[in-house]
Every structure is written in C-alpha cells, then in structure tokens.
Chains A and B, each alone.
Chain A
Amino acid sequence: MSVWAKAFQVFIIGFGGVFICLVVLQVSISIFSKLAQAVENKDSGEPADQARA
C-alpha cells in the first residue's frame, strides 16, 4: 500500500474511530446516568414507603 493510501486509511479509521468511540461512550453515559438516577430515586423513595407500612 502506498504511503498516501495508508495515510488516508489512518485518517478515516482514526478520525472516524475517535468519533465512534466517543459516540458509544456518550450513549453509554446517558444510559448509565438514567440507571443511576433511577436507583437513587428508588433509594430515596424507600424510607417513606417503609414508614407508611
């Protein structure tokens, strides 16, 4: 493979790869944040429920 062909390959996989990684990370963080907030809302809700019982 010529140097320029290799360079274009590096650019496409490299720059595209950075975006793909960070998009996957972004989606993962969004999902994780929702789960974390749900867990925390459930934990903060429990004492009130137990008191009523």
Chain B
Amino acid sequence: MGFSHLTFGNVIMWGIALILIILAIRKNYEPLLLVPIGFGILLANIPLTDLMKQEHLLWVFYNFGIDRWDIIPPLIFLGVGAMTDFAPVIANPKTLLLGAAAQFGVYVTFFGSLLLGFSIHQAAAIGIIGGADGPTTIFLSSKLAPSLLGATAVAAYSYMAMVPIIQPPIMRLLTTPDERKIRMKQLRKVSKLEKIGFPLLATVVICLLVPDAAPLIGMLMVGNLFRESGVVERLSKTAQNELMNIVTIFLGLCVGATMPAEVFLKPQSLFIFCLGLIAFAFSTASGILLAKFMNLFLKQKINPLIGAAGVSAVPMAARVAQVVAREEDKHNYILMQAMGPNVAGTIGTATAAGLFLSMLM
C-alpha cells in the first residue's frame, strides 16, 4: 500500500502542488501551465504509482515529449508564433535591440549560479529563466540540466505570472517622471507583404547565425507564417488552439512529474527561485537602461518603460509598461510600441538558448 511508503517530503510536495493550483485557479497565475504542473507534482509524489517509471504513463510523455525528442517546447512555439503579431517589430526594428538587452539578466544569473556552486550547464539552465520564456526554459533545461527542469520551469512560469508585481518598482526606480511621460509616435502601418516576409527572413537570418536556435525559431516563424499568409487559416487556428492545448497538457504534466520530493526538496531549488527573481529584475533593468542610452542619440525619444517589455512575457510585460506610463500621463498610450520589444524578447531568448547550446553541448 502507498501509505506505508509515504514520506514527509511527499506531503510537503502535495502542499506545493496545492499552492500552485490555488494560485492558478484563484489568482489566475498562468493557469494553463500551473494547473497541470501542480497536478503532475501531486501524481509524482504519491508513492508506488511509479508513473515516471520506464514505460509508464508520465514517463512516456516525458521521454518522448521532452527528454529524447524534445518536441514539446518547439510545438508550443508553433502555437506562440501563430498567436503573435510581429507588426510592432517590423514597424520599428530598433526595438529588437531592447529585446536583446533584456537578455542581460540571463547572463547575470548565469554568473550568480556559478558563484553558488552550480555547474556551468546548470547555471545556463537557471540563467535562461531571465528570458521569461517558459518553453525556452524547458527546452534548454531538458538538454543541459534535466534534473533542474521542474524547478526552473516552475520558477519561470511563476515569475512570468508575477511580472505586474516585480517590474513596476524597478521601472519607477530607473526612470524619472518626465521620462515616463515621453509620448511615442504612432507606429506606421505594416503591409501584408512585410508580415509574410518577416518570418521567412527571421528564420534564415537567425538560423544561419545560430543553427542551434532552429528548433525554436523555426517553429515560431512557421506558426507566424501560418497566421500571416491568410491562406491556411485552418492550420493557424489548429496551431493556436487544439495543438497548443494538447501540447500544454502534456508539458504541464511532464514538468510536474519531474518533481518528486527527493529531487525537488533540496537547497538548490530555493537558490533557483531566488536566482530566477534576480534574472527577471536584471532583465527588466537592462532593457530600460538601454532605452535610456539610445535616447542620448535619437531625435525621436523612446519611452524607456518599453525597454522593460523586452522580457518575453507576452503580452503581460507590454501591458505593465502601459499601466506604469499611464500613472504619469493618463493619455499616454504606449502598448503597441511596447509590444515591439516584448515580441523581440521571444526571439532574443530563443537565440540566447541556441547560443548556450552551441557552446555547452
């Protein structure tokens, strides 16, 4: 009977699972991921179920979805691409730089993790949390540090949900009221030809420079092409809805199932959560600081708050930039301009992950 094998650690993990499920249901914190992750944790911590034993249910999902084939994160990116409008980036390509700057938090945390005694592979998996991109975090962790997959994924999704709490104090600290009031020109209209050409161009450019980013960037851009071509609406709808939902279910259960008590309840899990917060903070700050630096040379000033949207929590970070801007000036609408660095951050984080893989695998 399972009762005789139940440990105190299992019970603690049940508590963690319950907290995640409650946060998801009552507070709406990333419910699509945290509900299945929470339940996966619960299942992994019921003794003798052996769902993660070879050839058993969750092992099959994990082995083929994440461990051996690693197809789940790229499939999530297919759906993300089908849902993403890259027009703000196309209309103002300079915002790609803000998406790049926001990856600084990844490397600050990378060094911080090394200082705390993590290996270089583990440090990379922890650092990528700063990119605020769940699928990329899972993709990289599964390849470089599979034992940390559960902790890094839960940290990434938890902090993505807490962007409206984490970012505003940093944004107010690093900007003046006058800077927050900067109004930006309305973005130009982007033609259909540009929107169709962008995914093709981005795929060729980034995959030629960083071939290891191809699984994520390729799938992101094919999803986007489905959306923008206008002739494969069925595929676009499937990618955004049915496929995304199916893959999300498997992803959440797999991630949760990698967190049995004996793996998760270690001091390093707490370090990962702390480092994840540092990563987010530095990513937010570096995006803002680059925007301020760019303003030294630009005639048309950028509102530096949009730099904070370079963390790729789409569209939450862009909405937060809008909210903070409107605190100073109720008629200052920067949401669309903030979407530029926001979606650029997704490209930036996937590129950073590809570069980690190319240097550490």
Contacts and interface: CB of A to CB of B under 8 A. Distances in A.
Interface stretch (B55-63, B171-179, B226-234, B343-351): B343-351
B197 A24 contact: no
B209 A24 contact: yes
B107 A40 contact: no
A33 B332 CA distance: 28
Interface stretch (B98-106, B263-271, B311-319, B320-328): B98-106
Interface residues of A, number: 30
Most chain B CB within 10 A, of A3, A22, A26, is at A22
Given A3-B114, A9-B359, A36-B197, A23 B120 contact: no
Contacts of B201: 25, 28-29, 32
A21 B206 contact: yes
A20 to B, nearest CB: 7
Contacts of A20: 209
Interface stretch (B37-45, B88-96, B147-155, B294-302): B88-96
A21 B359 contact: no
Chain A, interface SS category: helix
A4 B351 CA distance: 22
B344 A22 contact: yes
Interface string A26-53: 1111101100110110000000000000
Contact of B93 (A13, A29, A40): A29
Contacts of B210: 17, 21
A16 to B, nearest CB: 9
A20 B348 CA distance: 11
Interface residues of B, number: 39
B359 A18 contact: no
A9 B124 CA distance: 13
B198 A29 contact: yes
21 contacts: A11-B111, A14-B355, A14-B356, A17-B209, A17-B210, A17-B351, A21-B205, A22-B96, A22-B97, A23-B97, A27-B93, A28-B205, A29-B198, A32-B201, A33-B90, A33-B194, A36-B191, A36-B197, A37-B191, A40-B191, A40-B193
Given A25-B93, A36-B194, A40-B193, 19 more contacts: A3-B120, A10-B110, A10-B120, A10-B359, A14-B355, A15-B104, A15-B106, A17-B210, A21-B210, A22-B96, A22-B348, A24-B205, A25-B206, A29-B89, A29-B198, A32-B197, A32-B198, A33-B93, A33-B190
Interface of B: 89-90, 93-94, 96-97, 99-100, 103-104, 106-107, 110-111, 114, 120, 123-124, 190-191, 193-194, 197-198, 201-202, 205-206, 209-210, 344, 347-348, 351-352, 355-356, 359-360
